[in-house]
C-alpha cells in the first residue's frame, strides 16, 4: 500500500466522521422547531430526518463537486498534489472534530464554515496568504450578520402577522380558514423555487426562470385550493379556540420541516464527501482536476453517516435550538421554518453566502422577540454566537496543526 492509498482509506473514515457530525448538528435546522413546538416527538424527528436526509444525500445530492471546496484556495499555487491531498485530509478531520465538540456541548455551528475555515488553514501554511480567496472569506464573515438577522426579521414579521390577523381576532377559527391556505400556497411556491434553484437535482433540470415561476405559481394555486378544503374539514367547530389554529399550523410545520430535511441532505453531503472525492482523484490520477465526479458509494457513505449522526446525537442540538432559546408553539414554529427557508433561498440566489444553521437560530430569536426581550434566553444565545465566531479560527488552527504534523511525517 502506497501513501496515496493510505490517505484514501483514512479520508473515507474522516468523511464518515464529518457526515456523522453533519447529521448530529445540522438536524436542528430542520426538526428543532417542530420538536420544540411539540408537533412531533424527538424519536419521530430522528426517524423522519434520518430517512429524508439519506434520500436527499444519495438521490438528490451533488454528483459533481468542486475538488477544492467552496473556492477558498487556489490549487494552482500549490503544485504538489500530494501536499493538497494531505491538506484536504487535515481539513476534513479538523472540521469534523470541531463540529463534534460543538455537538457534544449541544450548540449549533455551521458545518460549511467549519470546512471552509479548515481548508483556509492548511492553504495558508501550504501556499501562503496569496493562496486564500480573501474576498470569499469576507463574504463568509458577512454571512454571520446576514443570515440570522434576515431570518429573524422574516420570522418576526410572519408571526406578528399571524397574531394580528388570526390569534388576536375574535373569530380566529374563521380567520385561520382564510389565512392558512394563503400561507400554505406561499410556502409551497417557496419550496418549489427552493427545490429548482437550490438542490442539485433541481439545478440539473436547467429550467428558464419563467418556467420555474410558472411551475411554482401552478403548484401554489393547487395547494391553496387543497388547503381550503382541508382546513374547512379539519377544523369544523368555530368555537374550538386557539388549539384549532395550532392544529392547522402543526400540519403545515411538519411539512416544511420534512422539506428542509430533504434539501439539507442534498446540499450538505458535499461538505463531507467533496474533500474525499478530491483525495480519491489525487490517489488515482496523482493530479488534481477542477471538478470531481462523486462515486455512488461515497454518496451512500455520506448519507449513512448523516443518518447515524442524527440517530446517535441529533437530540442534543435539537433540544437547544427548539426548546432553550425561547418557547415555541406551532404557529411560532411555522414562522421559524418559513423565515429560515426563505432567507436561504433569497440570499443564496442573490449570491450572498448564508448559513442554514444561522438562519434557523435567527428565526427562533425573531419569533421570541415578537413577544418581547424577556421571551428570549440571551445567555444561551450568546454561547451560540461565541461558537459561531470561533468556528473559522478554531477549524483553521486545528487543520494547521494536523497538516504540519502529517507533512513532517510524510516528507521527513
Q: Range with the lowest mean pLDDT among 223-237, 278-292, 343-357?
A: 343-357
Q: Which residue has the higher pLDDT, 338 or 107?
A: 107
Of the pLDDT bands very low, low, confident and very high (cuts 50, 70, 90), residue 65 is low
CB atoms within 10 A of CB 211: 12
pLDDT at 99 over 60: yes
Q: How far, in Å, CA of 389 to CA of 331, rounded?
A: 31
* Contact yes or no for 238/174 (Cβ under 8 A): yes
pTM of the shown model:
0.86
> Burial, 41: exposed, middle or buried (Cβ in 10 Å; 0-12, 13-18, 19+)?
exposed
> What are the residue boundaries of the structural domains of the chain, listed by start?
3-152+248-411
pLDDT at 118 over 60: yes
- Percent pLDDT > 70 in the chain is 91
Q: How far, in Å, CA of 157 to CA of 387, rounded?
A: 27
Q: How far, in Å, CA of 170 to CA of 250, rounded?
A: 21
- Mean pLDDT (the chain, rounded): 84
Mean pLDDT, range 304-324, rounded to an integer: 90
Q: How far, in Å, CA of 240 to CA of 349, rounded?
A: 42
HSE toward the beta carbon, residue 315, CA cutoff 13 A: 8
pLDDT digits (tens, 9 = 90+) for 173-200: 788 888 888 988 888 887 788 778 766 6
Q: How far, in Å, CA of 20 to CA of 135, rounded?
A: 30
Q: Range with the lowest mean pLDDT among 58-72, 312-326, 392-406?
A: 58-72
pLDDT at 70 over 60: no
Amino acid at each position: 500500500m502506497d501513501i496515496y492509498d493510505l490517505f484514501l482509506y483514512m479520508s473515507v473514515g474522516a468523511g464518515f466522521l464529518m457526515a456523522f457530525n453533519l447529521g448530529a448538528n445540522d438536524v436542528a435546522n430542520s426538526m428543532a422547531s417542530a420538536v420544540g413546538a411539540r408537533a412531533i416527538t424527538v424519536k419521530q424527528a430522528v426517524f423522519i430526518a434520518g430517512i429524508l436526509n439519506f434520500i436527499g444525500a444519495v438521490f438528490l445530492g451533488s454528483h459533481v463537486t468542486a475538488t477544492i471546496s467552496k473556492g477558498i484556495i487556489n490549487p494552482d499555487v500549490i503544485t504538489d498534489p500530494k501536499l493538497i491531498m494531505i491538506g484536504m485530509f487535515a481539513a476534513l478531520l479538523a472540521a469534523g472534530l470541531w463540529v463534534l465538540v460543538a455537538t457534544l456541548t449541544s450548540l449549533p455551528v455551521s458545518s460549511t464554515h467549519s470546512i471552509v475555515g479548515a481548508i483556509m488553514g492548511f492553504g495558508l501554511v501550504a501556499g501562503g496568504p496569496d493562496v486564500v480567496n480573501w474576498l470569499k472569506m469576507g463574504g463568509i464573515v458577512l454571512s454571520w450578520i446576514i443570515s440570522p438577522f434576515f431570518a429573524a426579521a422574516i420570522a418576526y414579521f410572519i408571526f406578528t402577522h399571524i397574531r394580528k390577523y388570526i390569534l388576536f381576532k375574535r373569530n380566529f377559527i374563521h380567520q385561520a380558514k382564510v389565512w392558512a391556505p394563503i400561507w400554505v400556497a406561499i410556502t409551497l411556491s417557496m419550496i418549489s423555487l427552493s427545490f429548482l434553484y437550490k438542490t442539485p437535482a433541481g439545478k440539473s433540470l436547467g429550467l428558464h426562470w419563467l418556467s420555474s415561476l410558472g411551475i411554482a405559481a401552478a403548484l401554489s394555486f393547487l395547494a391553496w385550493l387543497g388547503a381550503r378544503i382541508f382546513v374547512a374539514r379539519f377544523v369544523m367547530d368555530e368555537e374550538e379556540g386557539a388549539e384549532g389554529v395550532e392544529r392547522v399550523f402543526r400540519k403545515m410545520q411538519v411539512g416544511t420541516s420534512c422539506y428542509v430535511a430533504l434539501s439539507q441532505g442534498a446540499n450538505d453531503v458535499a461538505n463531507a464527501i467533496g474533500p474525499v472525492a478530491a483525495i480519491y482523484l489525487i490517489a488515482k490520477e496523482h493530479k488534481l482536476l477542477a471538478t470531481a465526479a462523486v462515486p455512488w458509494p461515497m454518496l451512500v457513505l455520506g448519507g449513512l453517516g448523516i443518518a447515524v449522526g442524527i440517530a446517535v446525537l441529533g437530540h442534543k442540538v435539537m433540544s437547544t435550538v427548539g426548546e432553550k432559546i425561547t418557547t415555541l408553539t406551532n404557529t411560532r414554529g411555522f414562522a421559524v421554518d418559513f423565515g429560515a427557508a426563505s432567507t436561504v433561498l433569497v440570499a443564496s440566489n442573490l449570491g450572498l453566502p448564508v448559513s442554514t444553521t444561522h438562519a434557523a437560530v435567527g428565526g427562533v430569536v425573531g419569533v421570541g422577540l415578537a413577544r418581547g426581550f424577556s421571551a428570549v434566553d440571551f445567555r444561551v444565545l450568546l454561547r451560540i454566537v461565541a461558537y459561531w465566531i470561533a468556528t473559522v479560527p478554531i477549524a483553521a488552527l486545528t487543520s494547521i496543526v494536523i497538516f504540519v504534523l502529517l507533512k513532517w511525517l510524510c516528507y521527513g
